[in-house]
Amino acid sequence: MTVARLSISSLNRGPSKKRTVLAGNDPILSGAYESIATVTVGAGGASSVSFTSIPSTYKHLQIRAIGRQNNAANTGNPKIEFNGDTNSNNYALHILYGDGATAAAYGTGAPTVSDVMITAGANIAANIFSAAIIDILDYSNTNKNKTVRSLTGADFNGSGTIRLYSDLWMSTSAISSITLTPNSSASFVQYTHIALYGIR
């Protein structure tokens, strides 16, 4: 069976409308999911990527990314920080992950570095990038601390990792800026692509 193009009948019986799209959840129709900003790293690399002046008019945010960084390792672990808050006492995280042989879990309360995704590192064959889908829930609510969940991973044809992250930012401030920073003083390399979306 080949589905070459969208037909009216398939639209009519297409997926039901949902209110939110989060990593791994059901999709929604356009109109509630908007592109806010996108960064594609150039030839010079980037020591961090920031989204600023984020409008407060959405319900949730989603970051969709492919990433690679220049540290001498197989993978990197960029962190996420909000509103310029670099105080590790304000972040906590838990991870479930598999490395192809073993499933494991890691968790820590504050203080911690708020790792949120995997990147491919410089020891991996060229032009292989990781992927990440990061959901930031109820980001503009001033009555809640902020919860982040992420599906991220990469396979390198003989190694790799797949991870589920849960991060907590212990602040009730509305999120107006987001910064992703590679670990080990590394930089994101060219073609790293990070896109921010708003969900109504």
Footprint of other proteins on this chain (CB under 8 A)? 1-6, 10-11, 13-15, 21, 23-38, 64-66, 96-103, 105, 127-133, 151-164, 191, 193, 195, 197-198
Closer residue to other proteins, CB minimum distance, 71 or 75: 75
Residues 6+ apart with CB under 8 A from 102: none
CB 197 within 8 A of CB 34: yes
Dihedral over Cα of 79, 89, 96, 22: its sign: negative
Taking the complex as a whole, the smallest distance from the CB of residue 157 to other proteins amounts, in Å, to 4
Taking the complex as a whole, the smallest distance from the CB of residue 95 to other proteins amounts, in Å, to 11
Taking the complex as a whole, the smallest distance from the CB of residue 117 to other proteins amounts, in Å, to 11
Closest-CA residue to 116 (of 140, 133, 139): 133
φ/ψ bin of 139: left (φ > 0), alpha (ψ from -120 to 50), beta (otherwise): alpha
CB 157 within 8 A of CB 76: no
Rounded CA-CA distance 24/147 in Å is: 16
Closer residue to other proteins, CB minimum distance, 2 or 185: 2
Closer residue to other proteins, CB minimum distance, 145 or 166: 166
- φ/ψ (deg, to 5) at 157: 55, 60
Rounded CA-CA distance 89/103 in Å is: 28
Closer residue to other proteins, CB minimum distance, 126 or 143: 126
Closer residue to other proteins, CB minimum distance, 169 or 197: 197
φ/ψ bin of 138: left (φ > 0), alpha (ψ from -120 to 50), beta (otherwise): left
Taking the complex as a whole, the smallest distance from the CB of residue 38 to other proteins amounts, in Å, to 4
Taking the complex as a whole, the smallest distance from the CB of residue 85 to other proteins amounts, in Å, to 25
Taking the complex as a whole, the smallest distance from the CB of residue 44 to other proteins amounts, in Å, to 16
Closer residue to other proteins, CB minimum distance, 157 or 185: 157
